[in-house]
Structure 1
Amino acid sequence: MSEPIDLLLRPTWVVPVIPDRVALKGHSVAIRDGAIVAVLPADEADRRFTAKEIADLPGHALIPGLVNLHAHASMSLMRGIADDLPLMQWLQEAIWPAEGKHVSHAFVRDGTALAADEMLRGGITTCNEMYFHPDAAAEAFAAAGMRATVGVAVLEFPTPYAANADEYFRKGLAARDKWQGHPLIRFAMAPHAPYTVSDDSLARVASLAAELDCPIHMHIHETAHEIAESLSQHGVRPLARLARLGLLGPGMIAVHAVHLDAAEIELLASQGCAIAHCPSSNMKLASGIAPVAAMLDKGLTVGLGTDGAASNNRLDLFEEMRQAALLAKVSTMDPTVVPAHTALRMATLDGAKALGLDHLIGSIEPGKRADLCAVALDTVNNTPCFDPVSHLVYVAGRESVAHVWVDGEKRVEKGRTVLRNSNKELIGIATMWQTRLEC
């Protein structure tokens, strides 16, 4: 007697990520109650299961949903507001003044809704978020049906969101308490950067992260200027300061990590830290090229992030996969580093591992949640296709994403988000905020 399931997916290829370097042709994925029940040959699946819904996906590769390991989602409302500037000038002269004038619960909710739609259409099912008003971000991600880890932002200087570090902690932890137990929303501690957070606050972050068993999500060694300032003010490089304060460990997600020496890479690896590599943002802000090949060689977990749309200017992990692979090759003069399978793993399983979610998502395995993305590889631009994984990294783009599921529920169908804000509504939201920002 056949087993009842909710959904049976029949793509041309299943790229499970585990096992590595495998593309299964002629296989199906069975889903029940939002979880993957089995990955098995299509004819066997037809005999074993009776599905409420069957999705035939000829010419498609089914991959795990992509994990955006670093984003400032609501900054989508500031996309293009200040291009072609160095990081500190960009922050001090454009971004921070705009945030001081406009950032609110409504701004973050609306900007995150816009970003969530963009990410889902591009196959991103999980976002690691860092910004003000975490409650508003959680509200928007939950409404979009998207998985998110939302940061408890910590800085020392006042903003419209909080007057001081104590208020950042209080508001962020209250948001965490409010959303505790939600199936899609988790929280992390998110001190902005070593140069904006005091020793006392950093020590408090380390203590809370241990107490709450949550990740720490932080910009680290993004620019050479940051390191010079730390040497001047603290007598040590930022990473040494963080180590002294007890922040390094398996829950640490070091964002950017562009300027690391060999000893620092060894230190991060020995402590079980993870890296959020943001190649497009690093290039656009001329921060530098992160030593990803050396990181991987030492066993560091390296995921991929888009950063915010104000410094990228798109939330597109297909672009980040390609850029990560190509930058690693040209910076080492070695075409064998970061091959396509590695880049795909960085965008899926390694991002999930960094967030402590690899038991739930990041690969197509029985028992994991059905966060999945179907990519059309049968279009003119994608044919012929000799190797689907190569195509996913070097040929296809987010426009090739046809269908997306989160917890087995359809979020994108034929390239369009379903049962969420309409294009007209989202464009209206963006236009309203553009008018305010231009005033």
Structure 2
Amino acid sequence: MAATRIWIKNPLAVFTANQLDAAGGLVIDNGLISELLGAGQQPSRPCDQVFDAREHVLLPGLINTHHHFYQTLTRAWAPVVNQPLFPWLQTLYPVWARLTPDKLALASKVALAELLLSGCSTAADHHYLFPDGLEHAIDVQVEAVRELGMRAMLTRGSMSLGEADGGLPPQQTVQQGEVILADSQRLIRQYHERGAGTQIQIALAPCSPFSVTPEIMRQSAELAEELDVRLHTHLAETLDEEDFCLQRFGLRTVDYLHSVGWLGPRTWLAHGIHFNPDEIARLGAAGTGISHCPSSNMRLASGICPTLDL
């Protein structure tokens, strides 16, 4: 495909990372910004296309750092609209266990379209459901991302601690550790892109302390280190989760994270509501990131992420 040079001309305003004056617009060469133009300034050489942006404001694409595309299908389901997290999950797990490749493809396209329409150009999706018939869930998502032209960090999530072993999810939604790790390696080798301009990357994302074993947490961290990919999980979303960690592991959430080798810059965590000041300092010193999820926090009424302290 031949390179395309586009002049986005005379926008109402331009918001750029370095706040340069670009009242004359900007030039995009084959998908990359090559020139920021001042008022009345012309591109340095001719362009293939000119887009009149006089009624538009230009801003960088937003980045969604934590999503569950598949949950698009059940987000307004009446039986769970007023449930706290654990009952919410326990009611929905059997429904999600019937997810099919076609339904996941639809959910992913709806979620991606909504994000694109909101100005989001990159999203991280946390997918951890692989019931029978949905073993290739991430492959389905890769196709949806490519079809809609989004950028995505697709995480190979997992659940390995079912009800029979003291976890929250039903047995039909959990997988054995060797299956999880083998598929994780396959997906990284098949889809993970590196360097500038990548469209798809893969991260490893055991779901939560109450749905995976410490063993799969440690093994995922070791694999991520070996293959140089990122790590993601839910942590400190509710006080129920904190109680679960104390009762099962004898540790608070950040201590548990440290015990399984996750406290470091490779990791970013979803929610991060219930950290004390010492834990916030430890997370910062380790370079561990936090995804603030305000709409989810408001939905559950279980607290708000202390973003300023973090």
Shorter chain as denominator, the TM-score bin is: 0.7 to 0.9
Query: Is 2:122 the counterpart of 1:121?
Result: no
Partner SS, residue 149 of structure 1: strand
Query: Is 2:164 the counterpart of 1:176?
Result: no
* Residue identity opposite 2:90 in structure 1: Q
Partner SS, residue 264 of structure 1: helix
- Aligned partners of 1:251, 1:263: CA distance in 2, in Å? 20
Once the 2 structures are TM-superposed, how far is the Cα of residue 176 of structure 1 from its aligned partner? 2.9
The structure with the greater share of residues assigned to helix is: 1
Cα 1:39–1:209 shift into 2, 3 Å: same
Aligned to 2:15: 15
Once the 2 structures are TM-superposed, how far is the Cα of residue 189 of structure 1 from its aligned partner? 0.6
* Residue identity opposite 1:99 in structure 2: W
Structure of higher RCO (CA pairs closer than 8 Å, 6+ residues apart): 1
Cα 1:293–1:181 shift into 2, 3 Å: closer
Once the 2 structures are TM-superposed, how far is the Cα of residue 226 of structure 1 from its aligned partner? 0.6
- Aligned partners of 1:256, 1:180: CA distance in 2, in Å? 25
- Aligned partners of 1:225, 1:161: CA distance in 2, in Å? 21
Aligned to 2:132: none
* 8 Å contact kept, 1:152–1:169: no
Scaled by the length of structure 1, the TM-score of the pair is 0.62
Aligned to 1:139: 143
Partner SS, residue 12 of structure 2: strand
- Aligned partners of 1:71, 1:61: CA distance in 2, in Å? 26
- Aligned partners of 2:188, 2:99: CA distance in 1, in Å? 20
Aligned to 2:28: 31
Cα 1:252–1:172 shift into 2, 3 Å: same
Query: Is 2:64 the counterpart of 1:68?
Result: yes
Show CA shifts across 1:119-175 (max 9, x none). Answer: 111111111011132111111111111111111112113765763232222233323
* 8 Å contact kept, 2:21–2:37: no
Scaled by the length of structure 2, the TM-score of the pair is 0.87
Once the 2 structures are TM-superposed, how far is the Cα of residue 36 of structure 1 from its aligned partner? 1.0
Aligned to 1:92: 90
Aligned to 1:155: 159
Show CA shifts across 1:220-262 (max 9, x none). Answer: 1000111111111111102111112211111211100010110
Show CA shifts across 1:49-93 (max 9, x none). Answer: 311111121242211111110001122111301312111111001
Aligned to 2:222: 207
Aligned to 2:165: none
Partner SS, residue 195 of structure 1: coil
* 8 Å contact kept, 1:151–1:217: yes
- Aligned partners of 2:102, 2:255: CA distance in 1, in Å? 38
Partner SS, residue 293 of structure 1: coil
Partner SS, residue 197 of structure 1: coil
Structure 2, unmatched stretches of 5+, are 130-136, 163-169
* 8 Å contact kept, 1:134–1:172: no
Aligned to 2:126: 130
- Aligned partners of 1:123, 1:27: CA distance in 2, in Å? 22
Partner SS, residue 225 of structure 1: helix
Q: Quick one: which of 241, 245, 248 aligns to 1:233?
A: 248
Q: Quick one: which of 264, 273, 279 aligns to 2:288?
A: 273
Aligned to 1:374: none
- Aligned partners of 1:12, 1:77: CA distance in 2, in Å? 37
Show CA shifts across 1:340-367 (max 9, x none). Answer: xxxxxxxxxxxxxxxxxxxxxxxxxxxx
Partner SS, residue 294 of structure 1: coil
Aligned to 2:265: 250
Show CA shifts across 1:280-311 (max 9, x none). Answer: 1101111201111111xxxxxxxxxxxxxxxx
Q: Quick one: which of 267, 274, 277 aligns to 1:262?
A: 277
- Aligned partners of 1:161, 1:178: CA distance in 2, in Å? 24
* Residue identity opposite 2:144 in structure 1: A
* 8 Å contact kept, 2:159–2:174: no
Once the 2 structures are TM-superposed, how far is the Cα of residue 180 of structure 1 from its aligned partner? 3.6
Aligned to 1:285: 300
Show CA shifts across 1:393-414 (max 9, x none). Answer: xxxxxxxxxxxxxxxxxxxxxx
- Aligned partners of 2:116, 2:90: CA distance in 1, in Å? 31
Q: Map residues 358-437 of structure 1 onto 2, 5 A cutoff.
A: none
Once the 2 structures are TM-superposed, how far is the Cα of residue 25 of structure 1 from its aligned partner? 5.7
* Residue identity opposite 2:14 in structure 1: V
* Residue identity opposite 1:54 in structure 2: V
Partner SS, residue 175 of structure 2: coil
- Aligned partners of 1:255, 1:136: CA distance in 2, in Å? 23
Aligned to 1:375: none
* 8 Å contact kept, 2:235–2:271: yes
Percentage of pairs with the same residue: 29
Once the 2 structures are TM-superposed, how far is the Cα of residue 47 of structure 1 from its aligned partner? 4.8
Cα 1:198–1:161 shift into 2, 3 Å: closer
Aligned to 1:396: none
Partner SS, residue 123 of structure 2: strand
* 8 Å contact kept, 1:103–1:160: no
